Chain A
Amino acid sequence: MANKRKVKDFLMRLVTYLGAAFSLFFLTVTLIYIVSNGAGLINLGLFTGDYHARYYGGRTESESSCIECSEPETYKGFYSPKYGIALYDDYDRAGNVVIRVSYVDAHSPFSLMQDTNNPSQTASLSIDDVVTRIAYYDQPSALTRNGAEMMILSLESSEDIREITFATLGGGIRGSLITTLYLIGLSLMFAIPTGILTAIYFAEFAPVNRLTNLMRSFIETLTGVPSIIYGLLGITVFIPITVRLNLSEGPNLFAGAMTMAVILLPVVIRTTEESLKSIPKSYRHASLALGANYTQTVRKVVLPNALPGIMTATFLAIGRIIGESAALIFVLGTAVKDRVRVTESSTTLSVHIWSVMTDEPANIELASSIALIILVIVLILNIGVKYMSYVINKKFRGVV
């Protein structure tokens, strides 16, 4: 019997270990997957680059080769002394094979060309661009699938270039990054003051009665509403408001921020109220006893002491904004924009992930890179929240 019991005990213990291992395993898989797929694309260009590639066709003015061009000391791939450019094989942010420019000499004929799509304009090839085709009069075109080396060889052997087709890299997330920042700023602008004032009401003034309880439970209910429903709220209420105010014609950042603000309200209110409650009663009584009225007490004693709590609320709110997708898909739209205007639709980082994942074919690399960025930001915010709760604990320890 004792043995049977030991086996049972062991099994029960094992079950808890397995549960924990299971949780940990999934977190590890998630992190490994995101980092291994996403880390490769992370560089400065990803943050500053346009999402939509711009395509150019260029015709060289002079057909002569480049005499002044000198071979640079370091370059990637293969160099053409004749034309002063270097090309290399690479992958774009969707994982396709491309030939990219690693060097263009200032005197290269490619640095100043006539734009074939727009003959009155000039086009110039620059570093990081993607060369898709070089067409010649005297030999077959060199294409992406031939590789960078073949393209350079064909350049070297040709006297007469007809046209070079190239494009900017694309796949950058600058637009989504800016939208996210705008959305954070605007949402906080709506949510934080409303949330704080509501929290002050509940913590300092609300009488203990049915109405207060009802109001509290209404606000609590907001936490349980799925975010996709908030998206519908945005469409039925906030977008029409912005349209009525002549701010916009459809989905836009203002409406998105207002929607986000409603989503954030319960978090901001709860966190702020908790921090208000952790301020010792004696502080308030001391202020009132010194002849200050309630307004002054709130402004000078309560609010400054609630600051760490308000910071916590802000961090949590930012995390929520960055992670939100379902609501914003409705209110902000799904079209990735490079030039962001608050009165137009655009995508945040999260919606950008959804957008590229629902494209055909899905761009998992880019999505993972954005996810990695989001995870890093969220991690930093988490640390911020922890630090703030440490500050709050330290501040009021031992005070009644």
Chain B
Amino acid sequence: MKTKNIFEIENLSVIYGETPALKAIDIDINEKSITALIGPSGCGKSTFLRTLNRMNDLIPECRVMGSVMIRGENCYENGYDIIGLRKKVGMVFQKPNPFPMTIFDNVAYGPRCQGVKNKETLNEMVLEALKQAALYDEVKDRLESSALSLSGGQQQRLCIARALAMKPEVLLMDEPTSALDPIATLKIENLIERLKKQYSIIIVTHSMQQAARIADYTAFFYMGELIEYGKTDQLFSVPKHKQTEDYITGRFG
């Protein structure tokens, strides 16, 4: 069965000031699956992730060349609706970063920014997102207490719920478990695996085990280049490139 692509990326290069961060990347990303991006620090995997919802726009000296097609539309075209893009492409960050508001307000933040005012609609959206993020049972009695009172793992799941409330198609995750303990990490991983039925998930991870555990596809980045991309089990068992092999066998990185 041929899977559909959510992202089709052609000849993508990113330059910070004078330093190239990504060099001519070509990659297609499948929908409703988990794609892991691995590679040593500074290899460009986070930069790549951030080009997908144009978060790189926030960096003044950053220039992006090439095309990023999402569902056939180039999101780097002039006049492309960035806010619409970010609605479609949700993001979860490395460190849990809930807003200093109540749990409810955190999840309702995105819809409210889009102008949703109706209380019942909001309530529904928030509860659904919390349930999807497997957080509802833990917080249902204290939706009005501060998000900062949650534990680290709960905070990260809240951030996932916050992103899900926007009903995105894609979920970008930038090392979402690197600040968490093993048990919280496990919970998030389980959550991610459940979410892939509905969402296309792209996850940057430092941990190769994590990529091997949860990802359907894995892309290995090195020095700003996409070295190898393929089915996770293939990439980990029969890497085609020497550099990939060196990395996954722990010879560098």
A and B, direct touch (CB closer than 8 Å) = yes
A-side residues, CB < 8 A to B, are 1, 4-5
The CA-CA distance from A5 to B87 in the complex, in Å, is 15
Measured in the bound complex, the distance between the Cα atoms of B107 and A122 in whole Å is 92
Chain B residues near A4 (CB, 8 Å)? Answer: 115
> Considering only CB atoms and an 8 Å cut-off, how many residues of chain B contact the other chain?
2
CB A359 to nearest CB in B, in angstroms, measures 54
Closest to A5 in B: B115
Can you list 5 residue pairs at the A/B interface with Cβ under 8 Å? A1-B114, A1-B115, A4-B115, A5-B114, A5-B115
Ranked 5 nearest A-B pairs via Cβ: A1-B115, A5-B115, A4-B115, A1-B114, A5-B114
The CA of A1 and the CA of B112, in the complex, are separated in Å by: 12
B82 vs chain A, min Cβ distance (A): 13
Task: Report which B residues bind A (CB closer than 8 A).
Answer: 114-115
Chain A contacts of B115 at CB under 8 A? 1, 4-5
For A1, what are the chain B residues with a Cβ–Cβ distance below 8 Å? Answer: 114-115
Residues of A within 8 A of B114 (CB): 1, 5
Bound form: Cα–Cα A349–B10 in Å: 71
Residues of chain B lying within 8 A (CB to CB) of residue A5: 114-115
Closest CB of chain B to A71's CB: distance in Å? 71
**Complex formed: what's the CA distance from A178 to B215 in Å?**
80
Q: Please give the distance in Å from B114's CB to the nearest CB on chain A.
A: 7
Closest to A4 in B: B115
A1: nearest residue on chain B (CB-CB)? B115
CA of A5 to CA of B114, assembled, Å: 8
**Docked complex Cα distance between A4 and B114 (Å):** 10
Nearest-neighbour CB distance to chain B for A11, whole angstroms, equals 14
How long is the Cα–Cα vector from A5 to B115 in the complex, in angstroms?
7
CB of B84, distance to nearest CB on chain A (Å): 9
Closest Cβ of chain B to A134, distance in Å, is 75
Q: Give the docked Cα–Cα distance between A5 and B84 (Å).
A: 13
What separation, in Å, do the CA atoms of A1 and B114 have in the docked complex?
8
Q: A4 vs B115: C-alpha distance in the bound complex, in angstroms?
A: 9
CA distance A227 to B115 in the complex (A): 50
A18 CB to nearest chain B CB (Å) = 23
In the assembly, what is the distance between CA of A83 and CA of B42, in Å? 93
Determine how close the nearest CB of chain B comes to the CB of A116; give it in whole angstroms: 79
Q: How far is the CA of A331 from the CA of B30 in the complex (A)?
A: 81
A1 shortest CB reach to chain B, Å = 5
Bound-complex Cα distance A355 to B114 (A): 59
In whole angstroms, what is the CA distance A82 to B115 when docked?
90
In the complex, A366→B10 CA distance in Å?
73
Instruction: Report the bound CA distance from A336 to B115 in whole Å.
Output: 65
Name the residue on A nearest B115 (C-beta): A1
CB distance from A73 to the nearest CB of B (A): 65
A2 smallest CB distance to B (angstroms): 9
What is the minimal beta-carbon distance from A187 to any residue of chain B, in angstroms? 44
A5 to B111, CA, bound (A): 12
Cα distance A12–B115 in the bound complex, in angstroms: 15
A100 to B227, CA, bound (A): 92
| Shortest CB distance A3–B (Å) | 10
Q: How far is the CA of A108 from the CA of B248 in the complex (A)?
A: 108
In angstroms, how far is the closest chain B Cβ from the Cβ of A340?
56
Distance in angstroms between the alpha carbons of A16 and B251 in the assembled complex? 54
Q: With A and B bound together, what is the CA distance between A1 and B115 in angstroms?
A: 7
Closest partner residue, chain A, to B84 (CB atom): A2
Q: Output the nearest chain A residue to B81 by Cβ-Cβ distance.
A: A2
CA distance A76 to B138 in the complex (A): 91
